[in-house]
Structure 1
Amino acid sequence: MSAALGRSQASSHRSPQGEGTPVNPTVSDTIRLARILCILLLVYAHAQPYQPGVPESLLSPMGLIHYTRQLLGHTSVPLLSLISGYLLARTLSARPYMEELSHKWFSLIVPLVLWNLITIAKEYVESGFTTVPALHEWPNAVLAITAQPAMTPLYFLRDAFVCFLISPAFIYLARKLPGTTAAALLLNALLNMDGVLFINSAIPLFYFAGCVLLVRKIPIPTQAMPREPVWAAGLAMVLLSAAPFYLPPAWGVSDPQSVAYAAVDIALRAAGCVVFWSVASRLLHGRTGNVLLQFEPMAFFIFCAHGMAIGLWWMAIDRLGYADVTPIFLSYFAISPLLALVVCVMAVWSIRWVTPSGLSLLMGGRIPNNQQMASMIKPLGRRHLARTTGA
């Protein structure tokens, strides 16, 4: 995901580091659009309200929320993993591994530590200065060594870093044994055989798929994709997201520890890659695509901060006594990506004004420039930022 969330200031159709074989300009812009689209949809995976397990009815308020989380939230991330593998394989074809290692440390591990420390401090203040991780919990809370960190979604940065560490092996296997390796990674994703190597065992599967696309020079569709595979993938998403509501519990599709659950999850993720890439390619040359692209330079910040951003809105709703009012919390959930975007733009503008170097650390070096900030603050104004290109 590091490359998928990579530097936004690139001015040519090259990798985030400006190296490697030039990418088709349309592919490059579609990658940028897919990046911000998928990260905004990810907000649905973490927006309140929460309810453990699967609600009894899909047509209940909480059932609709659970369904939307599966349909749009959880399925939007795998495309970012696939893009990461594609871009990193391309970068490593021109840049030494050790040189890229220092970049990945700064762009993944430094933000991982800082954002988790911010989360721990926030929870400490909210608890009345009483709640802090126990001494033995700090390694996971900050670095996600063997379990999810304090800010749960950021385990992705940790897994992305592990993917980078073994990327030379992935690239070699993409050349020599793509099918066998993909089958082994699929089996690993189903059975979680890697233990604590990955927090989410599905991530390396899609990361490797991106490596295969680059190494095997598989053409990437840049225009509207054929209807049949896109509609089939969309139908699969709709049906598989509804499966936990209607299939017998004995089948295991509602049990996160079961193989059946993992199989449905991977199928959903694969279908999501097809659908969201198709959506991005269709939006690219329209007004909606132009507006979304203006916010792409802060995609990484949104990814890191969206949980806290939407939490601020939920806190206000709760304090006002509307958290249990169905129209209110449904409306809040429906527009949560927009609400998170508003808070994140304000936060980036404020932090950039106070401490640009601090913002650079939080964003792994991906700090927006003056024109990009102006474009995000006034996305519908007369003067638009000319679309920068490059993945």
Structure 2
Amino acid sequence: MWRSIASNALTLFVVLLAVAAGILAWGRNQYVGPGPLAEPICLRVEKGATVASLSKTLEEQQAISYGPIFRIGARYSGKSTELKFGSYLVPAGASMEQILGIATRGGQSTCGTEVNYRIGVLSSELVVRDLDPKTGRYEEMLSFDPAAARAPTEYAKVEAEPGTRFRVTLAEGVTSWQVVDALKRADFLDGKLADVPAEGSLLPDSYEVTKGSGREALIAEMRQRRATVLDEQWANRAEGLPYKTPEEALVMASLVEKETGVPGERAEVASVFVNRLDKGIRLQTDPAVIYGITKGKGALGRGLRQSELRRKTPYNTYVIDGLPPTPICNPGRDAIKAALHPAQTDYLYFVADGSGGHAFSSTLAEHNRNVANWRKIEAERRKQEQDGSGN
């Protein structure tokens, strides 16, 4: 009798184990296998969201078939407390595991309606765009310059939507004064800015913010990112550079940033300035002279006068030796890298070549030929403009 009971109990135990194993296998397949999404969706992860609330949202959007499996998977993967605020594109057929990875990886939001305030060197623009999950393409809804026009009625509606994302993007070469001036008109931000940050202390980059974020907090993040980039590049800088401090390298990076808009030229431009410093030749860079006149408060709007090129100021690199005393703008990552990893050349000169880039040379004779060629191009362009205006 006892043998029969023991045998039946063992059989029941084996059956229960088999059932449990089957349930576990089914649960795992549900977690890692393709999900029910027929089309991509935008997944909004709210601040303070929990895995429980997210699983409910996912069930409502028919992105997962069984919420408890998602919650168990999040708990056992150790990611249940790692949800990152933002709006993310979830592809069709995404598994629960993939969705959890998207929601916990963070980074820049990739989906939904976005207000992007682009602060540029010559002007700023507030752009509203929306990502179509089906095509993966952004469609611009409206744009305007807050300094030149009132916000359209449509903008107020978009700004009030709870799912709208906000971003501030700084162009490479923008000055600190321009950043502060533009941020004062960002009506989705809060708080005052007491002072203009030191020139070169902000990193041109894209910054995701929330409505009502503080302006000072945003400036602090811009400072921190710039400090991180400069520290990393300084630690890995090339040998033999003519800079004693990271701050001097930052000044060089700002000159490089202002001298060329062609990414592939930055290291060559840096090499010209480094070579001139090494040989004790004055840098003779117009953007520095212009900064001495404008103090970074907008564009000069005209050519430099001979009297300005002769006037001795701390930023007139035609008169002073070495670097100017401060950066002349906020350089981007690539300009900082170029200043600390310049190309190995014997170039001492460069001039515009008519293509948007520059012609580089090692001797004054070669440089003079390049200058003459550029003057010829300028003259031809003026003639074409005159001919065009006369028709």
Larger RCO of the pair (alpha carbons < 8 Å, separation 6+): 1
Larger radius of gyration: 2
- TM-score range for the pair, normalised by the shorter chain length: under 0.3
